[in-house]
Structure 1
Amino acid sequence: MNSSVIAELEGTLVKDPDPFPYFMLIAFEASGPIRFSLLLLFWPVIRLLDLLGMKEASLRLTIFIAIAGLPKSEIEYVGRAVLPKFYMDNLNNDAWKIFSRYEKKVVVTRTPRVMVERFLKMHLGANEVIGSELIFNRFGFATGWVRDIRSISDRVDRLFGNEEMSLALGRWIGFDSPTFVSLCKNRCHERLTMQQEDGHIPKQPHPVIFHDGRLVKHPKPITALLILLWFPIAIILAIIRVPIGLAIPLRHQRNYMSPILGYRVLTKNPPNSSSVSAVSSKKGVLYVCNHRTVMDPLFLSRVLGQNIPAVVYSMSPIWRKIAPIRTVHLTRSRSKDAEMIAKELENGDLVICPEGTTCREPFLLRFSSLFAELTDDIVPVAINYKPQLFHATTARGRKVLDAIFFLMNPLNVYEISFLKKISMEDSSIAGKSSYEIANHVQRLLADALGFQCTDFTRKYKYRLLAGNDGIVAS
């Protein structure tokens, strides 16, 4: 049997047949709220064209409003770093189970190929992606036009030639040539029955570990409207919350100011002074946390009710100056950073996030072992964060906006769990190396959070989001 499958993306590999929300993401993440609003304003017209059977005109109008004038690099970045997360959340697992068992996997979509190719090739293992092609001018900006959408079926025909596919998965709606279906030996429902009976265990799709962008929710029209209505209120709230957060002492914020400041903190096993006292009275305790947002050290200080300095790798200079806790900015020079951390520990307690960058998904990056070389007084702290509308940290956004977007959420929920202090048996006193200690702390935090440990580093994250990992859209 020929082991080849061709599948439609919209409504088959992903549940939602409407690509409109993904263009809303392109509009917001690559351009901003104005284009986002404009595209939503035209949604009734786009929907009317769909209902009248003018699907091609509807799609062309959507593409033009969402993409016209955008640099090619911006569109590619959103397609690579933002959209895969939303496509994965909308994955049709039943279709994936069938799609994954074939050797040659081809996906057909009327969405511009640059938007979907990264997700389909990296996460679903597709060999070929046939979609509409955006037209760019000689300066690298999108004109808003696409090459003839009707040619998709012809390109499928050319790809396979006289070869017959083993299976086609799709709704068979919106394709203008019967060639797409006639190339297939079996209908979807016939092969579905065979797959369910043969006991085959499908592979799992490659998970989305790193992604970027500000929006948390999938911006379907109603959700997008709510985001837009909230946006001006959110900006006002953020402006009000900043001076309040800076003026009110930490101990009062913890007890009385949470609703006004827009956060709720769930704390588990908060330490007392005797449970975390340092082995040496000359040194402070090092709180080692996983890293979810730029606010992690601040919330740890709020829970403890005291100003604990934090080691930071990348933070806006403005926020470093006005932050209610003192920050120690590292240089990423191992010797210089070790000297600074050791000096801070001599003065008291300290907070550090050895992942070096944030991770939004339930995974932990590899921990730098530097912290384990400097002290045995280590208290692991497991942190989880649940935003409602906006992500507080992005890989390439302006760092000065991170705290603003954090405060623009109606409510930010933090879960902070203090684990037991590292025992002597798991420290350097027992002969453990710094790498063993760092890996041990990573595993403890992962188990407490229900996350998975990875060997990925900060450099790998940024290389992946930049498209320098060997899987680049052609």
Structure 2
Amino acid sequence: MKSVVLELEGTLLKDPDPFSYFMLVAFEACGLIRFSLLLLVWPVIFLLDLLGMGDAGLKLTIFVAFAGVRESKIESVARAVLPKFYMNDLDMEAWRVFSSYDKRVVVTKTPRVMVERFVKEHLRAHQVIGRELVVNRLGLATGFVKDEFGSPSFQSLCKEKLHRPLIGNWMGDDDQFVRPVPVIFHDGRLVKRPTPSTALVILLWFPVGIILATIRIVVGLMLPMSIFLYIIPLFGMKIIVKGKPPPTSPASRTNTGVLFVCTHRTLLDPVALSIVMGRKVSAVTYSISRFSEILSPIPTVRLTRKRDVDAERIKRELTKGDLVVCPEGTTCREPFLLRFSALFAELTNQIVPVAMNCRVGFFHATTARGWKALDHIYFFMNPSPVYEVTFLNQLPVEATCSAGKNPHDVANYVQGILGETLGFECTKFTRKDKYRVLAGTTG
């Protein structure tokens, strides 16, 4: 059996400096104050590294980032937030070497809890060797670590013998290349990995972003929907429209409205669609906060996840006019579509698929772990958020349940054409799968 030991930082990951990952933990587990404090200490950490005291600098980083933080919070960030950023920093050439061996071991200079989830689940490592956090009886990290994984000479051996020389001699077969397990679900507010310079920009932008978000939300609540599309560029936002939306609601002549079936990127998907339509289109919702409902410029209809009750509510709303539904049931940030619930297909034959996508610069607008009431605010704090709304043709009657089609087949077909439009991969994962992964449960 062939075995390999690779160091994570600077070998499997392109960036040898783990500081930005501690910044992520500080922000997501503690908030802006700890984030700011760690950035304030960075010049000392940098100076220690220049003086050849990198290990002391790392221990100072760990202390400032983790002291007094509940261990469960650190584990939550390591599970739900860090894997996405680790994956973005992965050196694919090093991964080719690593994945070609039967037994794979990763050595890290950071606490093991930070990297174990990513390394084992996405890189298929068999073992992770790293520092252990010292945790008190209350479950709080003390900020200190146990150096149980070996002496500095062991790390040096890994770096010198298994770093670039091994990778440089790799002559792998591209056809046999196995890719890492992709990160489909991730959480957290920050879009960019907070290196010292990026973190400084985020901190400086934060007060400006709060003011800008307030202005955008107030203006959105005061002005009529019919002029939104022409005004939002003045506030640094943009909506790109592709395809041709239905001109007006047909409820008056057919006793039912159009059901817009959208991909789900943020809670603002129905708002973006209403702006494009130039009128308020009601949206069904599941788990948005009451505060978000208050801030919403369009009517919302809260569902219960009880199939019969929700079916009746959707039918009732369709008799009033057009309606927006996101059958994934939860948002997904990555280029994947979750499995579509088939309920929408059973309720109408007037189905218009709409492909939604958005781009943000600093902050994600949805979270599974944080305070959902801030979702609107974080979205509008981004300097120049962009939404893309692509209308596809209304499904022909023969492609709906009215022609005898199975509801699940209709739902899968709509998921497929929306995925193809966006270039996203369709999956069978559900809302429950997302929260199970992010919560670290197996049930």
With the shorter chain as reference, the TM-score category is over 0.9
Query: Cα–Cα, structure 1 residues 178 and 396, in superposed 2: closer, same or farther, change >3 Å?
Result: closer
Cα distance in 2 for residues equivalent to 1:393 and 1:193: 42
Q: 1:280/1:376 Cα in 2 relative to 1: closer, same or farther (>3 Å)?
A: farther
Aligned counterpart, 2:211: 236
Task: Summarize the alignment of residues 341-380 of structure 1 with structure 2, pairs less than 5 Å apart.
Answer: 341-380=314-353
Shift of 1:241: 1.9
Provide the residue aligned with 2:178 in structure 1. Answer: 203
Per the alignment, residue 224 of structure 1 pairs with 199
Matched, 1:50 2:64: no
Question: What is the deviation of 1:152?
Answer: 2.4
Counterpart selection for 1:263 from 237, 242, 251: 237
Counterpart for residue 142 of structure 2: 143
Aligned residue for 1:299?
272
Tell me which amino acid in the other structure corresponds to 1:267. Answer: V
For 2:146, give the aligned amino acid.
Answer: R
> Retained in 1: the 8 A contact 2:38–2:64?
yes
Change (3 A) 1:323 1:187: closer
Question: CA separation of 1:460/1:198 partners in 2, compared to 1, >3 Å: closer, same or farther?
Answer: closer
Deviation at 1:463, TM superposition (A): 0.5
Q: For residue 132 of structure 1, what is the aligned residue in structure 2?
A: 131
- 8 Å Cα contact 2:38/2:61 also seen in 1: yes
Flag the 1:135–1:420 CA change in 2: closer, same or farther, 3 A. Answer: same
The offset of 1:258, in angstroms, is: 3.0
Give the superposition deviation at 1:181: 4.9
Instruction: Give 1:246's aligned amino acid.
Output: L
Tell me how far apart the structure 1 counterparts of residues 363 and 213 of structure 2 sit (CA, whole Å): 12
- Name 1:18's counterpart in structure 2: 17
Give deviations 1:122-158, integer Å, cap 9, x for gaps: 000000000011000000000000012xx4236xxxx
2:411 paired with 1:423: no
Q: What SS class does the counterpart of residue 353 from structure 2 fall into? A: strand
Alignment partners' CA distance in 1, 2:130 and 2:60: 17
Q: How much does 1:195 deviate?
A: 3.2
Q: Deviation per CA, 1:154-187, whole angstroms, max 9, x where unpaired? A: 6xxxxxxxxxxxxxxxxxxxx33488459x9x75
Query: In the alignment, residue 43 of structure 2 is paired with which amino acid?
Result: P
* Residue of structure 2 in register with 1:432 after alignment: 405
Distance between the aligned counterparts of 1:178 and 1:412, measured in 2?
43
Residue matched to 2:296: 323
- Residue type of the partner of 2:185? F
CA distance in 2, matches of 1:179, 1:361: 36
Residue deviations 1:166-219 (CA, integer Å, cap 9, x gap): xxxxxxxxx33488459x9x7555644653166662201000000000000110
SS at match of 1:463: helix
Q: How big is the alpha-carbon RMSD for the aligned residues of Structure 1 and Structure 2?
A: 1.9
Q: Answer whether contact 1:266 1:414 (CA < 8 A) is retained.
A: yes
**Match of residue 363 from structure 2:** 390
> CA 1:96 to 1:181, structure 2 compared with 1: closer, same or farther past 3 Å?
closer
Give the 3 Å change call, closer, same or farther, for CA 280–98 of structure 1 in structure 2.
farther
- Kindly provide the amino acid, as one letter, of the partner of residue 250 in structure 1: M
Structure 1 residue runs without a partner (length 5+): 155-174
Shift in alpha-carbon separation, 1:427–1:191, aligned structure 2, 3 A: same
Identity %: 56
Contact 2:64 2:143 in 1 (8 A): yes
> Could you say if the C-alpha distance between residues 387 and 179 of structure 1 is closer, same or farther in structure 2, counting changes exceeding 3 Å?
closer
Q: What is the Cα deviation at residue 308 of structure 1?
A: 0.6
| Matches of 2:343 and 2:172, distance apart in 1 | 53
- AA of the residue aligned to 1:214: R
Query: Structure 2 vs 1, CA of residues 273 and 41 (structure 1 numbering), >3 Å: closer, same or farther?
Result: same
Cα distance in 2 between the residues matched to 1:309 and 1:199? 50
**Equivalent position of 2:34 in the other structure:** 35
CA distance in 2, matches of 1:233, 1:343: 43
Change (3 A) 1:46 1:293: same
Letter of the structure 1 residue corresponding to residue 238 of structure 2: R
TM-fit CA distance, 1:431: 1.6
8 Å Cα contact 2:242/2:391 also seen in 1: yes
Secondary structure, counterpart of 2:176 in structure 1: coil
How far did 1:324 drift? 1.3
Q: Indicate the SS of the match to 2:130.
A: strand
Once residues 61 and 361 of structure 1 are traced to their aligned partners in structure 2, the CA distance between those partners, rounded to angstroms, is 34
2:435 matches 1:462: yes
Are 2:176 and 1:176 equivalent residues in the alignment?
Answer: no
**Code of the aligned partner of 1:413:** V
Question: Which whole-Å CA distance do the structure 2 matches of 1:192 and 1:89 have between them?
Answer: 19
1:248 aligns with 2:223: yes
- Residue aligning to 2:119: 120
Q: Secondary structure at the match of 1:257?
A: helix
> Counterpart of 1:381 in 2: which secondary structure?
strand
Match of 1:106? Answer: 105
| Native 8 Å contact 1:153 1:179 kept in 2 | no
Identify the residue that residue 158 of structure 1 maps to in structure 2.
Answer: none
Structure 1 residues 200 and 331: CA distance shift in structure 2, 3 A: closer
Maintained 8 Å contact 2:251/2:321: no
TM-score if structure 2 supplies the norm length? Answer: 0.96
Amino acid corresponding to residue 395 of structure 2 in structure 1: I
Work out whether residues 339 and 428 of structure 2, in 8 Å CA contact, stay in contact via their aligned partners in 1: yes
Secondary structure in 2 matching 1:292: coil
Q: Structure 2 CA distance, aligned partners of 1:97 and 1:178?
A: 21
Alignment of 1:278-293 (within 5 A): 281-293=254-266
CA distance in structure 2 between the partners assigned to 1:292 and 1:130 by the alignment: 37
